[in-house]
Structure 1
Amino acid sequence: MAQDLDGCNAPPSEAAISALATFHGILCAKTEECWRESRAHHARWVEEDPVGANSWSIKVPRHESHLLRPLFRALMAIVCCADYDGEDSTTAGRFPVCLVRTGVEDGLSAPISFHAEVVAHRMKYLSDNVVETTLEAAVDFIMALEAREAAVFGIQPDPASVVEVPMDEEGHELTRLPSTQWVSDEKAAEWGWCGKGRYWDEVWGARFEQRAFRSHKSLLFELQMLREGRELPATLTIGDLTTVFRTEKGEGKDSVSAD
């Protein structure tokens, strides 16, 4: 379906896009450096204390299961959220987004092209390597690229190569019950709900979204009070979440939930 982009905010300037692309490159390089250091540290720990390294309670994650994928290096998304006013996930898809090709495409199965999306009027060019679109169209585009790479190279890293059997502190295997957490509703219905998957999706997921919404409203309130030169109240209650701005001891801001 074609997307109407006329209502989007003004896109970021060329200077801003260039600065963000530079930051993105630095972030990728630093991530690679930290990954190598963490992997080396874990290898030393396994060599020195193999039982402790496999302990379920104090285990260091296996860094072989964390990779900086080529697609992350090659593509950057800039979300233009100036008009965001606490909308939830049902309306966030209309937010304007810029997709930026960084020019680093080593490891991809094929170069990234925006041409088909531009022809379909889901995107429009701002420059040779930058397009403007909506959050919904950008997510669809990136997921299609991920599917393309998986079809060529398989899922990376290979899940079978990084699965770990949970161990207790004495090195004995622990039994882990199956769970439908993070599984789509369609697959969960096909396989049958098990574990805490449904509870997580229906209770905790919704609760986290509500808290993020209230935190955003609290931030808007603070900014408004600052602009008007008014003193913040001691507390502010939004729904069942109370934000404490000041206490008798002069301590900093905190949040207390009633649920």
Structure 2
Amino acid sequence: MSSNTTSKNFLNKALQRAPLPRHEILHAMRSRLEALHRWRVYQYGCDPHHSNMYRPRIDILDSLEDFPQMSIKTANDCCNKTTAIYLCKSTPTDHSHVLTYALHNWLYQKWFQPYRSDIEWGQFFAKVIEPQGGGSRGPVVGQLMSDESPWQFASTMTKLHAVVCERADEARESLMETFLHGPIPRQSDCWGLVADQSKWELQQDQEHFVLQDLFRAVFILIEGQDYAPNTDDVGEMSVCIVCTGIDAGLSAPISFESIASSVESFIMGTDGEIMAARTTLEVAFTFIQDLEKREIAAFGMRPDPVEATKGLRAGYLTTGESLLSEAEELGWPKGEPLEYPSSKWVDAGMYPEWTGCGVQADDVMRTLERTKKDSAMEETGRRGRRGQPQH
């Protein structure tokens, strides 16, 4: 069962009790959005079977004309993320597919605050990207990791990240050019946008999909070859925090001084400056989250959670008309405005525990992770038994 199905089932049950009190309607609507957000983040950043998960080719970086254009769906999903995480598979048979699920759940648990996180424009800690090799046409990622020095591989991934950011900018600029001078694309071609909106509204939506300056400046590199499906704490996994050298727009340069005691090793650039730091995912998460807090303190939140959602706009999740219609079915007074951000809807005093389809979606994702881990460990056991000598 998907998180999307879970949220629909929850609302169907709520409809059977309609009309609901005001606080229950707001709780139901918020939890519906939480499930939608969880599902979007999972589909576009963690679901290995989803066609929209971004898998850029790492073997064609020297011929950028061959590097594929990015869809507007993927470009929008890069926006309003604090950073990018590059999940590198060492071999086609490793356990990194299990790590994908475990990583998603770990990140969501660390980042998400039930009822309180701003989610209308796709805000999340990271866009997870799985770079691919070219097989016979070029080196696989695992081969690069083994053949290149740490500095060379970090440099290769920095180049890839620059291209990812460039393609995201191009996709959004191309879309705006189309809106201004051509027909509006079909809704199926422009996820995050609504086909029957005016061109002004579409332009306003794109203003709220922001490719963050911190996203351009730093990313996390995970070399998943050492991951085992029986790992208890993904946060203890070794990762690299890589600085791209692009500090434009930041309030101050990025320094590793605050986590120096937790760094296993540094990777130096050709200019003698620190390019990357190897540490744990837990330390990397806290470090980058602290950088985000620094930037918010200096410039405010981008997009502004109040200004960007006026008129019940939520480009990442659903249309205002659809949401208001659902609320009215539950008993919301017709003609009474319902305004975002949804992070203000739920009274924590009345709902001290996380309930609704948001937590149900969380249960679905954790069950999926456990299923994948159990399957991987069973397969590992079978391989071990096949390799045992016969008596």
- Same fold, TM exceeding 0.5? yes
Deviation of 1:81 after TM superposition, in Å, equals 3.0
Deviation of 1:37 after TM superposition, in Å, equals 2.3
The 3-state SS of whatever aligns with 1:39 is helix
1:52 aligns with 2:196: yes
1:93 aligns with 2:231: no
Show structure 2 runs of 5+ residues with no match: 1-145, 185-193, 269-273, 313-319, 323-333, 387-391
The 3-state SS of whatever aligns with 2:355 is helix
Counterpart amino acid of residue 167 in structure 1 = E
Question: TM-score, normalising length from structure 2?
Answer: 0.43
Query: Partner of 1:253 in structure 2?
Result: none
Q: For the structure 1 residues 18 and 177, does the alpha-carbon distance in structure 2 shift closer, same or farther, using more than 3 Å as the test?
A: same
**Residues 53-101 of structure 1: CA deviation (Å, up to 9, x unaligned):** 17xxxx999222211111011101112333323357x611101110111
Query: Partner of 1:141 in structure 2?
Result: 287
Among 154, 158, 161, which residue is 1:17 paired with? Answer: 154
Deviation of 1:210 after TM superposition, in Å, equals 1.9
Q: For the structure 1 residues 178 and 101, does the alpha-carbon distance in structure 2 shift closer, same or farther, using more than 3 Å as the test?
A: closer
Q: Is the 8 A contact 1:179 1:197 kept in 2?
A: no
Separation (CA, whole Å) in 2 of partners of 1:52 and 1:161: 22
Counterpart amino acid of residue 237 in structure 2 = F
Q: Is the 8 A contact 2:150 2:267 kept in 1?
A: no
Query: Partner of 2:267 in structure 1?
Result: 126
Q: For the structure 1 residues 227 and 174, does the alpha-carbon distance in structure 2 shift closer, same or farther, using more than 3 Å as the test?
A: farther
Separation (CA, whole Å) in 2 of partners of 1:151 and 1:123: 30
Among 298, 303, 309, which residue is 1:152 paired with? Answer: 298
Counterpart amino acid of residue 207 in structure 1 = V
Separation (CA, whole Å) in 2 of partners of 1:61 and 1:206: 35
Deviation of 1:33 after TM superposition, in Å, equals 0.8
Separation (CA, whole Å) in 2 of partners of 1:19 and 1:12: 11
| Aligned pairs (5 A) from 1:186-201 | 190-193=348-351, 198-201=355-358
Separation (CA, whole Å) in 2 of partners of 1:208 and 1:83: 23
Q: For the structure 1 residues 61 and 154, does the alpha-carbon distance in structure 2 shift closer, same or farther, using more than 3 Å as the test?
A: closer
Separation (CA, whole Å) in 2 of partners of 1:216 and 1:204: 19
Separation (CA, whole Å) in 2 of partners of 1:224 and 1:23: 37
Deviation of 1:223 after TM superposition, in Å, equals 8.1
Q: For the structure 1 residues 24 and 53, does the alpha-carbon distance in structure 2 shift closer, same or farther, using more than 3 Å as the test?
A: same
Q: Is the 8 A contact 1:94 1:134 kept in 2?
A: yes
Query: Partner of 2:96 in structure 1?
Result: none
Deviation of 1:191 after TM superposition, in Å, equals 4.8
**Residues 110-146 of structure 1: CA deviation (Å, up to 9, x unaligned):** 000002211x335542322111111111000000000
Separation (CA, whole Å) in 1 of partners of 2:244 and 2:321: 42
Show structure 1 runs of 5+ residues with no match: 1-9, 230-259
Query: Partner of 1:102 in structure 2?
Result: 244
Among 310, 321, 325, which residue is 1:167 paired with? Answer: 321
The 3-state SS of whatever aligns with 2:278 is strand
Corresponding residue pairs, total: 204
Counterpart amino acid of residue 206 in structure 1 = D
Separation (CA, whole Å) in 2 of partners of 1:22 and 1:204: 36
Q: For the structure 1 residues 176 and 144, does the alpha-carbon distance in structure 2 shift closer, same or farther, using more than 3 Å as the test?
A: same
Q: Is the 8 A contact 2:230 2:377 kept in 1?
A: no
Separation (CA, whole Å) in 2 of partners of 1:200 and 1:179: 18
Separation (CA, whole Å) in 1 of partners of 2:230 and 2:337: 41
Q: For the structure 1 residues 61 and 221, does the alpha-carbon distance in structure 2 shift closer, same or farther, using more than 3 Å as the test?
A: farther
1:31 aligns with 2:168: yes
Q: Is the 8 A contact 1:180 1:197 kept in 2?
A: no
Separation (CA, whole Å) in 2 of partners of 1:107 and 1:16: 26
Deviates more, 1:37-46 or 1:204-213: 37-46
Separation (CA, whole Å) in 2 of partners of 1:12 and 1:174: 62
**Residues 131-180 of structure 1: CA deviation (Å, up to 9, x unaligned):** 11111110000000000000000001222332142136xxx979659897
Q: Identity across aligned pairs (percent)?
A: 22
Q: For the structure 1 residues 105 and 173, does the alpha-carbon distance in structure 2 shift closer, same or farther, using more than 3 Å as the test?
A: farther
Counterpart amino acid of residue 222 in structure 2 = V
Question: TM-score, normalising length from structure 1?
Answer: 0.62
Q: Is the 8 A contact 1:74 1:103 kept in 2?
A: yes
Query: Of Structure 1 and Structure 2, which has the larger fraction of its residues in helix?
Result: 2
C-alpha RMSD of matched pairs (Å): 4.2
The 3-state SS of whatever aligns with 2:249 is coil
Separation (CA, whole Å) in 1 of partners of 2:301 and 2:366: 29
Deviation of 1:15 after TM superposition, in Å, equals 2.3
